[in-house]
Amino acid sequence: MRASTARAGFVVSKAVGNAVVRNKVRRRLRHLVRPLLTDLPDGSSLVVRALPKAAEASFATLGGDLEAALAAARKPRRQ
């Protein structure tokens, strides 16, 4: 596995829950994003915004949603 210069940031607002819940969601997302950073181009910046339903989502659901979002972002746009 190569080291990537890609980086990720997380936006978890108070709408997600109290500080304990927000930090739990942030930790889960950080754990899920870490292995995906190596697949991104060097120098990429990824911003993940957690919506309120992320507080109730399972780890598997968060992972699936994250992978689906990255796949959609990689899709070529129509002209």
Q: Catalogue all structural domains in the chain, each as residue range(s) with its CATH number.
A: 7-72 (3.30.230.10)
Write out pLDDT tens, residues 9-54: 999 999 999 999 999 999 999 999 999 988 888 899 999 999 999 9
**Residue 44 backbone dihedrals phi, psi, to 5 degrees:** -70, 150
Residue 56's pLDDT band, with cuts at 50, 70 and 90, is: very high
CB atoms within 10 A of CB 54: 22
CB atoms within 10 A of CB 21: 16
Q: What percent of the chain has pLDDT over 90?
A: 68
* Alpha-carbon gap, residue 54 to 2, rounded angstroms: 30
pLDDT of residue 41: 87
Answer for the pair 41, 4: CB distance below 8 angstroms, yes or no.
no
